[in-house]
Amino acid sequence: MKGDWEHMPKYLVCFSQSSFEDQEFKIVTASSESEAIAKYIKVFAVTDNDFLEYVYEKSVNTSFAENFWMQTEDEEVIFHETAQVIIGDEEFNKRVRAFFGRHRDYADLYIDHYYSDQERPSIDQFPEEMLVYIYVHSGHSQVSAVKLDDLGAI
């Protein structure tokens, strides 16, 4: 007897902005496009080295931290012209907490990591659910899915 999953549609899922040659295509069995994207993010995207570097990196720009250090046009302009950050740690922490909202434990983990001496933990210190939250809400990369049945065959 075949399981329900065998009757579910299959989706071709990938990062939206990557060039075709750099794609990490995956075929995902799911009941809907949104479920296929959620599975891709949970199983593949949050384990991608580029994403993990983005999250754990502590640089002011080109990392997840940039979302908190530079939220206004003035902050970005001053940083790019002078390499100076015009907000302090208190505002940074406030912005981290606003980003994570009701997930205060995630905010605490991120703030603790950011101010620690470790560049990157020897083992991943952020729980999978937190990484998924960061991936979905930070705008790091978009994910697209197309139902395989919708692809034309030649």
- The SS3 of residue 9 is coil
User: How does pLDDT run across 23-59, given as a tens digit for each residue?
Assistant: 678 889 899 988 998 998 898 888 888 889 899 988 8
Q: What is the mean pLDDT of residues 71-76?
A: 84
Label residue 139 left, alpha or beta by phi (over 0 means left) and psi (-120 to 50 means alpha): left
pLDDT at position 1 over 50? no
- The partner residues of 26 in beta bridges, in order of sequence, read 13
- Per-domain residue ranges for the chain? 1-57+141-154
pLDDT at position 153 over 90? no
